[in-house]
A and B are shown apart, each in its own frame.
Chain A
Amino acid sequence: MAPLVPTLHVSALQSELNTLPHGKPRSPPLDLSQAPRKELVQYRCNVRAKDGGGPPKQGQRAVIVCDPVVRFYRVCQDGLMVETTAWEGWKDKHVGAELGER
């Protein structure tokens, strides 16, 4: 069975990335916002009525409609991939709030 893994909040991601396994700070430090961004498109598919709208009723023709779900990645040095889908939104909110305070 797979090992249990702890979760960390996105606000702690940057500091977690810049701490090496033995506790020392990474040198030079990684800056996620400077790393090149890539995307991976996945979907959420559900059955819908062909004429549009919600789930099909009895006798209606149905199609499978797949809404795209985009995952963002930052490619760091040494090929480390960090999924930043939640981090990007959190950063925009956080930086926006900081700028607002100023």
Chain B
Amino acid sequence: MPPPRIYLASIFARLRNLRSNIPPRLSRNHLKSAAPGGVERNAARYMLTVAQVYLGFHLTFKYFYKLEFTSGISMVPTIPHGINSSPPCILVSMLHRRGKGVKVGDVVVYTHPSNQTQACKRVIGMPGDYVCVVSPNREAEDLPTAAEEEEEDTFVQFKEEMIRVPEGHCWVAGDNLEWSRDSRIHGAVPLNLIRGKVLAVCLPFGERKWLGGGGLREVQEGGHELVIR
């Protein structure tokens, strides 16, 4: 016996029946037609607004711009240490996450490759660039005594050796070379760990400045001045 023939029209007719039995969806038009000032209407609107605000904040902070507080002395004098004052606040552009558009001289925020904390340093070399080998930073036990001050110290000396930054990585160093734990210790940083580029220092207000242009500039004749804080 041949199988019974099923016509498409009959399927559509059944679906149309089914659809007419489903109550209308919870849409705005539907809410408008409901009793004005109803509890359901207010609750739905409230939840919708909360969701929109949450999504807006999430997208802005995750993919566009973010204000972050920092601590530490590794970027003095570019970013203040904030030890005896309020912590400094920086504006970070997440548009540069994963090293997009980052150049040598930019200040970036990245996840530390060893201990997963957040760090903020200056980019010294991008993939394929050559950077100098610099002797490491001081640690707390290396605090200089008055006698040692006179001697030539071994910290932050440029050696006659070079490193080629591996592909997909960058080389970072804090502006306070003597007191910064950076690529001299943990090696090259994968570009994927870069969370964003620092555009500005916002707080403390007296030391506000733009950093977006990067630190690289034409060679200036004459010496550079001491910075005293």
Contact = CB atoms under 8 A, between A and B. Distances in A.
Interface string A1-39: 111111111110100110000000000000000000111
Contacts of B122: 40, 42
A80 B217 CA distance: 16
Contacts of B224: 41, 68, 70
24 contacts: A1-B187, A2-B183, A2-B186, A10-B160, A10-B161, A17-B130, A39-B218, A44-B156, A44-B176, A44-B177, A44-B178, A45-B229, A46-B144, A55-B145, A66-B77, A67-B226, A68-B224, A70-B224, A83-B131, A83-B162, A85-B132, A86-B160, A87-B162, A90-B160
Which 7 residue pairs of A and B lie closest in terms of their CB atoms, listed nearest first? A2-B187, A68-B224, A66-B227, A44-B178, A64-B229, A54-B149, A7-B161
A55 B205 CA distance: 29
Interface string B131-160: 111000000000111100100000110111
Contact of B158 (A67, A82, A85): A85
B177 A42 contact: yes
Interface size for chain B: under 10, 10 to 19, 20 to 34, or 35 or more residues?
A: 35 or more
B228 A65 contact: yes
A2 B132 contact: no
B163 A7 contact: yes
A70 B169 CA distance: 23
A52 to B, nearest CB: 11
Given A1-B113, A64-B229, A86-B158, A55 B144 contact: yes
Given A8-B162, A55-B144, A85-B158, A43 B177 contact: yes
A41 B176 contact: no
B228 to A, nearest CB: 5
B85 interface: no
A40 B174 CA distance: 12
B211 interface: no
Interface residues of A, number: 46
Contacts of B188: 2-3, 5
B219 interface: yes
Given A3-B169, A86-B160, A39 B132 contact: no
A90 B132 CA distance: 12
B126 interface: yes
Given A55-B149, A70-B224, A83-B131, A64 B76 contact: yes
B132 A83 contact: yes
Interface in B115-130: 122, 124-126, 128-130
Contact of A40 (B126, B166, B215): B215
B106 to A, nearest CB: 11
A38 B156 contact: no
Contacts of B178: 44-46
B20 interface: no
